[in-house]
Structure 1
Amino acid sequence: MAVPTYTISGFLGSGKTTVLLKMIEECEKNHRRLGVILNELGDVNIEKPLFKEQNVKELLNGCICCTIKEDLKSTLDEFIKEMHSNKLDLLFIEGTGVSNPLEVKRVLEDPIYAAHFDLISMISLIDSSTFLEYQSIFSSTADMRKLLEEQITSADIILLNKQDLAKEKVLNKSIKKIRGLVGESVPIFQTSHGNVPLSELFKRRNGHLPNSIHSDIREETNHSHHHHHHHSGLHAVKIDPGPTIKKHDLENWLSHLPKAVLRGKGVINLEGSEGLYSFQLASNTLIFEKIPHPAGMRPAIILIGDQLKETELLNSFNRLVKA
């Protein structure tokens, strides 16, 4: 019997990992055995320690939909081998914030893998506080706008997340824009912190999208994306933060990063505090959290953005934080 499989996509900082963790928690309550594939652009995954109890496989240093597509196939092959001795009840695949989920779907629908993995739903998240800005020709590139469109039009269910950070007028304009892309058949849930009835996330939705607009866009994307990837300028920069950091200095540096930086996250050792902390920078919001079980984690800072100038970022960090 094929393993029920879910993909979770969404642009940088939209809340994918938060939703994935909620789904995993629900599965564990019901004693379901899980497999998780996590994809990162850089060579380290800051969030991996959040998945200590699961069978997690990482795809690093590239995007699951292009440069490491073969790695995805190899990882699926590993799960298939493991199924002979360890039963797998569900599989989750979380792409990078710049991946096109349709390419993952193409792999899963290959007869070789369709016999083992049953794609139930493609879940896509949208950050309602930045969506319209990223859709504007004045504040984003054509590639970025196309990438967002691909993530939306591939979805079986859409979570318009972080509504607590957006005004009602912005939310209404966002919904109108999204409806223009996917039609009426794809459900859109307005959420904060990824809170949505879990039953909606686990429903079988793939293959039940009759809307012609949705189908036409998917078909067009299938033919065009194979030859051109819409995130060629987006990449990750890793910074070694050193043994300790003053929180104020880090906050000051992060608040003055260039607009080209679209997402930041890291694991750090704050001066004057015990243990390690994580930070998340998204939607112009910075959040610090103490890591309860930091065993095996090492300090690292990851910045993701468009055409990032690595040397300048390193120099500014050394000047403002390490000094």
Structure 2
Amino acid sequence: MRGEIFINSSKKIPVYVLSGFLGSGKTTVLLNMLEHCKKKRLQPGIILNEIGQTNVEGHLFENQKVFELLDGCICCTIQEDLKETMNVLITEMEHSPLDVLFIEGTGVANPMEIQEVLLSHPYTDQFDLMSIITVLDASNYLEYQSIFSSSTEVRNLIHEQMICGSLLVLNKTDLVPLNQLESIKQKITKKSKQEKTIMESVYGKIDAELLFEKRIHSVTIGKSSLDVEHHHHHHSTLQALKLEDCPVVRKKGFEKWLKHLPANVLRGKGFVEIESSHQLYSFQYASRKVAFTPVPAALNRKPVIILIGLGLDTEQINDHWKQLVKQ
């Protein structure tokens, strides 16, 4: 029933998996869902997965029960770590109960692999998979689908994420003209090859009742619609590059630097100190757009830049960085 999204007679913990390509807005959707939990006084648990060795978004989840899986991807290199984390959760819930669990995969995770863990013993006895929410970036969707501006592995991955999603959130619709938006929705429907609920959003805002609705009702979900043989290899060229010892930067110069990075840099995030502000800012770079947020000094973060992309030329990016530093 709508409106009773967290209640089920089996007393299992409801689980929501957030999927979507790099920079689509998964974390923003998750933060909105957590805000709803706060209003309802529900205790959430969060599993965050990062490709690199550093999670630069941890400060967004202060005072939350968070488990971080770093330097890998749930769907391949650290799937066993996910199981271990779930085991810890089961043990800890004896003393610190949860009302709901969120799992955010990396931008290159295939949610089918996460689903397999949740539907296997002993996790299926403790957790109830409610929905796999796949977030799509409306502003980049057509570019990612183009054979001229995208790679086969990116197109395949987004296709897999769409097929696995029980709810598709088409985010960043404010960045797309109305006529183009209709075209994108038609293409998504055609690509999905089955009827999917598509919800449009700006900054990941969706009606909470719809977002939390139970959309997965079967305990056995087959893989016949997917070519599972290549799941463990479809993002072999994806890399996370970390730049440390970052000097103070000028805001406009840094924005310009990000926007002139090679096209295969799909995502950027981290912390930088901005000249004349004497303060650290977290930054998010996606869809050729940059957003800055002040970081409280009490968090004691250090400047660091994480760039994620396909087949990155480390030497080229380091040279690019040196040019910015010299300015």
Deviations 1:12-56 (A, max 9, x none): 111101110010011012221111000110111111110011110
What amino acid is aligned across from residue 225 of structure 2 in structure 1? E
Q: Which residue is 1:212 aligned to?
A: none
User: Does structure 1 residue 284 correspond to structure 2 residue 284?
Assistant: no
Cα distance in structure 2, aligned partners of 1:287 and 1:201: 25
What amino acid is aligned across from residue 192 of structure 1 in structure 2? V
User: Which deviates more, 177-186 or 11-20?
Assistant: 177-186
Of 167, 183, 191, 1:181 maps to: 191
Of 64, 69, 81, 2:74 maps to: 64
What amino acid is aligned across from residue 268 of structure 1 in structure 2? V
Of 175, 179, 182, 1:165 maps to: 175
What amino acid is aligned across from residue 303 of structure 1 in structure 2? L
Q: Which residue is 2:60 aligned to?
A: 50
User: Does structure 1 residue 273 correspond to structure 2 residue 283?
Assistant: no
What amino acid is aligned across from residue 275 of structure 1 in structure 2? Q
What amino acid is aligned across from residue 220 of structure 1 in structure 2? S
Cα distance in structure 2, aligned partners of 1:208 and 1:71: 25
What amino acid is aligned across from residue 143 of structure 2 in structure 1? E
Verify the 8 A CA contact 1:9 1:151 in the aligned structure 2. Answer: yes
User: What's the secondary structure of 2:307's corresponding residue?
Assistant: strand
User: What's the secondary structure of 2:299's corresponding residue?
Assistant: coil
Q: CA deviation at 1:306?
A: 0.6
Deviations 1:190-248 (A, max 9, x none): 11111110111110001369xxxxx88x423264345x431111111111152422223
Cα distance in structure 1, aligned partners of 2:46 and 2:297: 20
Q: Which residue is 2:321 aligned to?
A: 317
Deviations 1:98-148 (A, max 9, x none): 110010000100021111111001001000011111111111111111000
Q: Which residue is 1:239 aligned to?
A: 243
Are residues 222 and 93 of structure 1, via their aligned partners in 2, closer, same or farther at CA, if it must alter by over 3 Å? farther
User: Does structure 1 residue 221 correspond to structure 2 residue 226?
Assistant: yes
* Alignment map for 1:23-102 (pairs within 5 Å): 23-102=33-112
Q: CA deviation at 1:295?
A: 1.1
Q: Which residue is 1:117 aligned to?
A: 127
Of 163, 168, 173, 1:153 maps to: 163
RMSD of the TM alignment (CA)?
1.8
Cα distance in structure 2, aligned partners of 1:322 and 1:41: 29
Are residues 294 and 170 of structure 1, via their aligned partners in 2, closer, same or farther at CA, if it must alter by over 3 Å? farther
What amino acid is aligned across from residue 25 of structure 2 in structure 1? G
Verify the 8 A CA contact 1:250 1:321 in the aligned structure 2. Answer: no
Verify the 8 A CA contact 1:249 1:321 in the aligned structure 2. Answer: no
Cα distance in structure 2, aligned partners of 1:170 and 1:116: 43
Q: CA deviation at 1:319?
A: 2.3
User: Does structure 1 residue 131 correspond to structure 2 residue 141?
Assistant: yes
Deviations 1:248-277 (A, max 9, x none): 331221121011101111111112113211
Cα distance in structure 1, aligned partners of 2:180 and 2:266: 20
Cα distance in structure 2, aligned partners of 1:82 and 1:41: 26
Verify the 8 A CA contact 2:189 2:195 in the aligned structure 1. Answer: no
Q: CA deviation at 1:185?
A: 3.2
Q: Which residue is 2:154 aligned to?
A: 144
User: Where in structure 2 are there 5+ consecutive unaligned residues?
Assistant: 1-10
Q: CA deviation at 1:178?
A: 1.2
User: Where in structure 1 are there 5+ consecutive unaligned residues?
Assistant: 210-214
User: Which deviates more, 237-246 or 143-152?
Assistant: 237-246
Q: Which residue is 1:296 aligned to?
A: 300
Normalising by structure 1, report the TM-score: 0.93
User: Which deviates more, 280-289 or 86-95?
Assistant: 280-289
Normalising by structure 2, report the TM-score: 0.92
